[in-house]
Structure 1
Amino acid sequence: MRFRLSGATIRPNKCSGMRTGLLVLMVACASPVHAQEAVDAKRADTIRQLDELTGQIGLSADKVASLDKEIADLKKDQTTLTAALIQSAKTEKKLTEDIAAIGDKLTDLREREDGIKLSLKGRRAALAEVLAALQRMGLNPPPAILVRPDDALASVRSAVLLGAVVPEMREQTEVLIADLKELSRIRTSIGDEQTRLTASLSGQAEEKKRLDLLLAEKQKLQTTSEETRKAEQQRAEDLARRATSLRELIASMEQDMEEARKAASAANQQEEQKLAASKERADNFASNQERLSAKVNFASLKGHLPMPGAGKLVRHFGDDDGLGGVLQGDTLETPAGATITAPTDAVVLYAGAFRSYGQLLILDAGNGYHVVLAGMKRINVSQNQFVLAGEPVGVMNEQLVASTGTVQLGNGAPMLYIEFRKDTKPVNPAPWWADRLAGRTTNDT
């Protein structure tokens, strides 16, 4: 049905409704692949903006000086520094999680903003048509019956026309106002989230600096002499070169520690000077084992271990590894430069490069259990060092390292590979995670 008034053609009700409905149908029926590509593109854009903002965040000279003074005022002992490290790592991890959450929220808000813009654009033609017709009516109004009774038919036609057009225009106007209000609210929310993001990034930069300063102070208090530490590192590297597998490396390191225990007895019967290094290794090992044995059995910690870093599990024990086998551990996707912490009290059995694993950290959790972490840019602990749960042990790369063959996902994000082993054999880590369903429910792959 059409009505013509002063040269304008109006298609009330059905036309604009059909157009809006067609737009909704086109959006709803879009290919899931294309929809996912749009979401991925929006997320990538958010990550790019986040990276740019991160590069602009820095600490002032006054803030660095304040942190230096804060660390200098600490009591310089292992207990105090370790407690400060654990608290700082916990704060940094929380800030990292907040930054990731804000990034996801910004992505969602920008998708909704684009959706409203698309909706407004799709209704622009219909709204313009109705408004143009009403404007023409204002310029050339129909005659009134009381003034010109002879033109009653034109008045009836105008009344019919207005009865058809005005409700449609009112409906369109109400929808338009609602969309504009929602668009304004979303833009305000985006601004608020960007402000929160900047504050969180500044806090994260501060915590990373505090962590670096604390780690430097703790390293100064290491009881092991520099000569012994270098000898230990060289010995571990030699064992790593000879080992052909992770299982063989763990077995070799365990055997090396057993020899250290035997050296403790031999040191009491031979010249102190000749076996000083061996006695130091043995004494450190015995001290760490005594501390470790006093802790809770690792098997009893099921359902209580936190993730060693902020992020989400993207691959799991038993998944196809893409090389004809299955994964023997979990893969955690982390933010760039994320701090990695020890999930449990443990002794560092090995810390260094190992074959395709890249930088590898093996933690002896006692009772035959080992925690293996691979994919870090830097490891902050050394062999035979005792670490507490939550203590920072390393830092992730800015992006995925190609040499880490166990974590080939191809999206460029840093990946931490995690294995739990019992008597050198891999076991599923899932039962140990405090929130082990989170990795699957938030997995976007």
Structure 2
Amino acid sequence: MKHIRPFSSPVCPSSHWGKLAGYTALLVAVPTLLAGYPAMPLQAATTHHKKAATAHHSTQTAAKTSARENKTRSTHTRKSKMAAEPSVMSDRSVREAQAAVNAAHAQHEAMEQEKARQAAAVAQSRSQNEAAQAAAAEAKNRALSLSAATVSATSQLQSTEQQIADLQDQISDVKKEQASLQAALVQDAHALAPILPLAERLSLYPSDTLLAAPMPQGDAITGFLVLRGLSRQMEQEAEGMRARQARLTALNTTLTNKLAELNQLEQTQTHQRDTVRQQAALAREAQKQASATAISTTHQLQAATQRAASLQDAVSKLDALQAQAESALQKEIAAAERAHEAARAKAARRKMAAMVKTQGPGLAEHPSAGSGLRPVAGTLISTWGSATESGPATGMTYRTPPGASVRAPCAGTVDFAAPFRTYGQMLILNCGRHYRFIMAGLSGLAVDMGQSLTKGAPIGQMGSSRGSGTLFIQLRHGQKTINPAPFL
């Protein structure tokens, strides 16, 4: 009979994977353990061994001594114990192996269930992420569509605002002319007042007036001629006064008509402003939904801008952040290509393209005349490079009508939209390719940081007070100030 050594489990009680390895080894060892046993039952093998031993002892001579019989019985007892010991040990090993197999099966099933749960969680997370990305893309497209829809309404509103501004200038000119005519008529009346009684008497009694005068006849004739010339001059003055009075009456009629036209335009303007405000609010809300994943980035930009000590620092920091992001992506692409990681390089290029696309298309190197748009209604009062108290002007300044709407001079992304130091409400519009418009002096903003805008979309409005507001516009390429006029 082959002696079987009891099986002992691997000693890894504290490690899940150690237990699993031990159970696996045990599964492999069980067939080997069982193969060492004879085909017959263990108990039958033991009985057969006993019978053979008894037959062997019965053939011995009866003459052996009592001591030898005792020795034989002792030997028989020891052999019986040795035959029974493998049976007990093999039963225990089988039970241990079966328990290990059951434990291994249970651990395997638990691991499979955990793997299934993890796979389901990953699939759900991936599905949610894809749905969120799709929703963000859809919201962004909707925001761009709404922004484009506001362009037409804003253009009509700006045209109305410009008509109102021109009409108000015309009304102001009419009122000035009215005042001038009225002053001239008053002056003429004061000049004629002393001679009006004499002129009236001469017109009624010309001969009697001269004959009654105590003067020589020659002087009387001379006086008659003088009075005759004076009468002619008075008639001319009167004719001029009548013409000025007629002009004044016509101006009054013109003023009445223009005031009625102004009232109609102001009503149209109110309706158009409501339309633009509603469309801008929809675009703003859609952009907020699309920009939920970019909140940290926009907050970083806003924090960097708010910490700037001046407008130059603000724009420089924004440009530095953009250049830093682009440099990091370029390094990632180069590293992926050096490591022959096509997928990683492709993903980095996709990020770079998305970042460039989000920023905007940039501005034309050589813009054609009339290719830009007027950002606000009003009058240009200061051009780029004109002399100021602090040196050449670094931008353009418009005097605007009250409440005038302000439009985006390019398509792009809002880098900054908030009050800034002494500039009031300020907006920095990233047109792409390191071109940025800075617009300051607004009373209110209709956009948020990170919002994508189409060219001509509304970005805010000027103050609604009766006094004229001023809008300052500056254009930068990187950190260099350039003339914005060709692009407006």
TM-score using structure 1 length: 0.63
Establish whether residue 377 from structure 1 lines up as the match of residue 443 from structure 2.
Answer: yes
**Other-structure match for 1:365:** 431
Q: Aligned in 2, Cα 1:285/1:362: closer, same or farther, shift over 3 Å?
A: farther
Report SS of the residue matched to 1:314. Answer: strand
Q: Deviations over 1:226-282 (max 9, x none)?
A: 74454344222221133334343334334444666668999xx9xxxxxxxxxxxx9
Distance in 2 (CA, whole Å) between partners of 1:229 and 1:296 is: 21
**Other-structure match for 2:264:** 199
Displacement, 1:351?
2.2
Write the letter of the residue equivalent to 1:111: K
Q: How does 1:157-306 map to 2 (within 5 A)?
A: 160=225, 163-222=228-287, 224-225=289-290, 227-228=292-293, 230-257=295-322, 286-287=353-354, 289-290=356-357, 295=361, 297-301=363-367, 303=369, 304-306=371-373
What is the aligned-residue identity percentage? 23
Write the letter of the residue equivalent to 2:479: T
Q: Aligned in 2, Cα 1:198/1:229: closer, same or farther, shift over 3 Å?
A: farther
Q: How does 1:30-429 map to 2 (within 5 A)?
A: 77-78=142-143, 80-137=145-202, 140=205, 142=207, 160=225, 163-222=228-287, 224-225=289-290, 227-228=292-293, 230-257=295-322, 286-287=353-354, 289-290=356-357, 295=361, 297-301=363-367, 303=369, 304-322=371-389, 324-398=390-464, 413-429=468-484
Q: Aligned in 2, Cα 1:158/1:333: closer, same or farther, shift over 3 Å?
A: closer
Report SS of the residue matched to 2:443. Answer: strand
Bigger mean CA offset, 87-96 vs 121-130: 121-130
Report SS of the residue matched to 1:383. Answer: coil
Report which of the two structures shows the higher radius of gyration computed on alpha carbons: 2
Contact 1:288 / 1:347 at 8 angstroms: preserved in 2? no
Distance in 2 (CA, whole Å) between partners of 1:143 and 1:331 is: 73
Contact 1:288 / 1:385 at 8 angstroms: preserved in 2? no
Bigger helix share: 2
Q: Deviations over 1:327-353 (max 9, x none)?
A: 322222212221111112222222223
Write the letter of the residue equivalent to 1:413: S
Report SS of the residue matched to 1:361. Answer: strand
CA RMSD across the alignment: 3.6
Q: Aligned in 2, Cα 1:249/1:291: closer, same or farther, shift over 3 Å?
A: closer
Contact 2:425 / 2:443 at 8 angstroms: preserved in 1? yes
Q: Aligned in 2, Cα 1:284/1:116: closer, same or farther, shift over 3 Å?
A: farther
Q: Deviations over 1:113-155 (max 9, x none)?
A: 11111111111134344442243245545369xxxxxxx9999
**Other-structure match for 1:441:** none
Write the letter of the residue equivalent to 1:104: D
Q: Deviations over 1:391-433 (max 9, x none)?
A: 1112223469xxxxxxxxxxx6322111111122111223434
Write the letter of the residue equivalent to 1:423: G
Q: Aligned in 2, Cα 1:397/1:233: closer, same or farther, shift over 3 Å?
A: farther
Report SS of the residue matched to 1:362. Answer: strand
Contact 1:309 / 1:341 at 8 angstroms: preserved in 2? yes
Report SS of the residue matched to 2:207. Answer: coil
Distance in 1 (CA, whole Å) between partners of 2:188 and 2:305 is: 67
Distance in 2 (CA, whole Å) between partners of 1:165 and 1:284 is: 93
Write the letter of the residue equivalent to 2:375: P
Q: Deviations over 1:73-105 (max 9, x none)?
A: xxx944653333111111111111111111211
Distance in 1 (CA, whole Å) between partners of 2:220 and 2:421 is: 90
Contact 2:329 / 2:352 at 8 angstroms: preserved in 1? no
Q: Deviations over 1:311-366 (max 9, x none)?
A: 222223334543x4443222222122211111122222222233333322222223
Distance in 1 (CA, whole Å) between partners of 2:351 and 2:192 is: 80
Q: Aligned in 2, Cα 1:225/1:91: closer, same or farther, shift over 3 Å?
A: closer
Gaps of 5+ in 1: 1-75, 145-151, 270-281, 401-411, 434-445
Report SS of the residue matched to 1:307. Answer: coil
Displacement, 1:378?
2.2
Write the letter of the residue equivalent to 2:428: I
Gaps of 5+ in 2: 1-140, 210-216, 337-348
Report SS of the residue matched to 1:95. Answer: helix
Contact 1:375 / 1:415 at 8 angstroms: preserved in 2? yes
Distance in 1 (CA, whole Å) between partners of 2:300 and 2:257 is: 54
Displacement, 1:159?
5.7
Contact 1:329 / 1:419 at 8 angstroms: preserved in 2? yes
Distance in 2 (CA, whole Å) between partners of 1:388 and 1:257 is: 21
Distance in 1 (CA, whole Å) between partners of 2:362 and 2:478 is: 18
Q: Aligned in 2, Cα 1:229/1:353: closer, same or farther, shift over 3 Å?
A: farther
Distance in 2 (CA, whole Å) between partners of 1:336 and 1:375 is: 13
Q: Aligned in 2, Cα 1:135/1:371: closer, same or farther, shift over 3 Å?
A: same
Contact 1:319 / 1:327 at 8 angstroms: preserved in 2? yes
Q: Deviations over 1:177-220 (max 9, x none)?
A: 11111111111111111111111111111111111111122223
Displacement, 1:166?
3.2
Q: Aligned in 2, Cα 1:243/1:125: closer, same or farther, shift over 3 Å?
A: closer
Report SS of the residue matched to 1:244. Answer: coil
Bigger mean CA offset, 254-263 vs 97-106: 254-263
Report SS of the residue matched to 1:222. Answer: helix
Q: Aligned in 2, Cα 1:77/1:158: closer, same or farther, shift over 3 Å?
A: same
